[in-house]
Chain A
Amino acid sequence: MNDNRFAFSPILIPIPIPIPILILVLFLSACGAPERTTPTSTQTSAPIALGVGYIPSVQFAPLYVAIDKGYFADEGLTVSLEYGYETDYMKLLALGKREFIIASGDVVILARAQKLPVSYVAEWYTKYPVVVFSPQEKGIEAPENLVGKTVGIPGLFGASYVGWKALVYAARLPEDKIILKTVGFNQTAALQQGQVDAAVDYAANGPVQFQVQGIPANVIVVDDYMHLPSNGLVTSEKVMAEHPDRVEGMVRALLRGVAFTLANPDEAFQISLKHVPEAKQNIAMSRAIFDASLPYWTPKSPDALGRTDPAIWPETAQFLADAGFTETPVPTDGIWTNDFVEKAGVTLAP
């Protein structure tokens, strides 16, 4: 940098005027990305990109079933899946660039805390899928056994952290007497190497890896201590108001997919392998993950399919505030609804 106009000054950095213009152009080009417009009343066949979490997995079997069996098509909907982070999709949903996403109920509450106009319209997971697991020899069978131990966690954010804090909250664990250690997404390895005594993970991940390797494990299920609204179908207030037919159709198709999967797990698993061919490389592990997910999709009763429990929402909002995720408890009126589930009228076969 020899040109004096741009020479660095110890006092300030003279930023050449074109640079802010360039930044503006970059902003505009980024913000001008193609929009997926919410269809008008005359455009009810616009394709739907359903945002789901992270990467293709057999854990999305009900969605693959709904696509393959034509449940979405029966509702006049063309649905494809997008894999990414639910928080990113939540923002796109609120902005009107997406119509539907799969997201966890606690994230919907956090989104509402940031004034995102989104609503939870159907329950898919009937239990929060986060657990604390450990090798059986550690003797950690109940939350109180974690006192004085080191617990591995992917990070101090996300569903794992919410689940952990919920367990601490509900079981009234003394956090200062438990060492929480960030291990990234290496919980199983961290346990096997003795870096931690227990680890927080999804029920269909770490514990299944232990199971497939023949390592006996103790599993503490967060849902046994605190009920949190888990993964479900989320849409925006705008879509609910302007296209209730599409919302009802999505709910019905999703619930039909869940119902078929629970009634025909073998066929559903085979369908999911078509969508996740990488899963064939380790069929035993993939099937174990799928089987471990089934209890989390099973409703308490056949006619409870898709219905969220009204009581858990204010409790979760209070917990999130007490745990410091939000400043104050988020009002939960309007955050969720079972109206579309009732209209969809899907139940499990007896």
Chain B
Amino acid sequence: MTNLPRSLSQNPRVLRLARILLGASSLALFLLLWEGLVRWQDYPPYILPGPGDVWARFLAAAADGSLARHASITLVEVLGGLALGVSVATLLGYLLAKSPLLDQLVSPYIVALQAFPVVALAPLLVIWIEDSLIRTMIVAALVLFFPVLVNIIAGLRSVEPELVAMMRSLQATRWQMFIKLEAPFALPVLLAGLKIGATLAVIGAVIGEFVGADRGLGFLINLAQGLLDTPLMFVALFTLAAIALGLYGLVSLLERHLLAWKRAV
């Protein structure tokens, strides 16, 4: 790219085309390597299905509506868990960032909660919370909560003291301080945390579905396991990956939009 004439290498269309070609060729290479591995080792479909087997299974699951049905449930759970986890993490993160005393009191419990394996907690939640949708959202929220919380605290505490002093000298109210200084300063770190949270929410939703659900992609994986239908398992896994990538992409777009001022500086 650096050998191209300066005008071409800076041409947004050329860059875009190059990215598309790179992505497509990378994907094609991945599929070729996968197929090659299956053929080289002669793996049966129940051990490692080839791309063709997975594609055929995907078409069958898409045609009968089961894939869309399960994927939509998981998506709702992921989005709900993300909203819940990020909301609680943001509120608590703000309070902990502003109050060292509260931080000292509460943080040990938060860290301890983080140490509890969610896969062990999730079966208990089946009895405590009857509704499987809400329960799975809570599990998803639990999984992403701590990383997002840490990011928010770090972001809020990264505000330069001189700027805080300046705002105080201008007699800014607490709300003005938050809106005009702390939030914009913390936004890059917050959005980075949101990216992590988006993918963790998918993992959390699957954990929740594993232990007590009759719908969703996590349930579909369990179902496929029981039927020894490995291609179906791969279909569910790739659909989960697509959801995670889609959410990550949306957050990246949001990041690009909200942080445009940063690039202009």
- Identify the A interface with B (CB < 8 A): 4, 8-17, 19-21, 23-24, 27-28, 31, 85, 87, 90-91, 94-95, 107, 110-111, 113-116, 155-158, 161, 180, 182-186, 189-190, 193, 195, 325
Contacts and interface: CB of A to CB of B under 8 A. Distances in A.
A152 to B, nearest CB: 10
Contact of A114 (B26, B219, B227, B252): B227
Given A115-B46, A155-B222, A184-B123, A17 B212 contact: no
Q: Which 5 A-B pairs have the closest CB atoms?
A: A12-B23, A157-B226, A184-B212, A184-B126, A20-B30
A299 B31 CA distance: 52
A9 B30 contact: no
B37 interface: yes
Q: Which of B34, B223, B226 has the most CB of A within 10 A?
A: B226
A113 B224 CA distance: 13
A156 B213 CA distance: 8
B52 interface: no
Given A12-B23, A13-B245, A182 B30 contact: no
Contacts of A19: 26
Contacts of B47: 91, 94-95
Interface of B: 15-16, 19-20, 22-24, 26-27, 29-30, 33-34, 37, 41, 43-48, 123, 126-127, 130, 132, 211-214, 219, 222-223, 225-230, 245, 248-249, 252-253
B17 to A, nearest CB: 10
A177 B137 CA distance: 29
Question: What is the interface of chain B mostly: helix, strand, loop, or mixed?
Answer: helix
Contacts of A113: 227-228
Contact of B214 (A20, A155, A185): A155
A91 B46 contact: yes
A9 B16 contact: yes
Contacts of A8: 248-249, 252
Contacts of A183: 126-127, 212
Contact of A156 (B48, B126, B219): B219
A298 B214 CA distance: 35
Given A11-B20, A15-B27, A157-B223, A190 B127 contact: yes
B211 A28 contact: no
B225 A85 contact: yes
A23 B30 contact: yes
A267 B33 CA distance: 56
B130 A195 contact: yes
B41 A31 contact: yes
Contacts of A186: 123, 126-127, 212
Contact of A87 (B48, B225, B253): B225
A20 B33 contact: yes
Contact of A9 (B19, B43, B219): B19
Contacts of B44: 94-95, 115-116
A184 B225 contact: no
B217 to A, nearest CB: 14
B126 A14 contact: no
A31 B252 CA distance: 35
Nearest to B250: A10
A157 B225 contact: yes
Given A8-B252, A183-B126, A184-B212, A16 B228 contact: no
A195 B30 CA distance: 48
Given A20-B30, A161-B226, A182-B132, 4 more contacts: A24-B34, A91-B47, A110-B227, A157-B227
A111 B214 contact: no
Contact of B249 (A10, A90, A185): A10
Contacts of B214: 155-156, 180, 182
Contact of A24 (B24, B37, B43, B211): B37
B123 A185 contact: yes
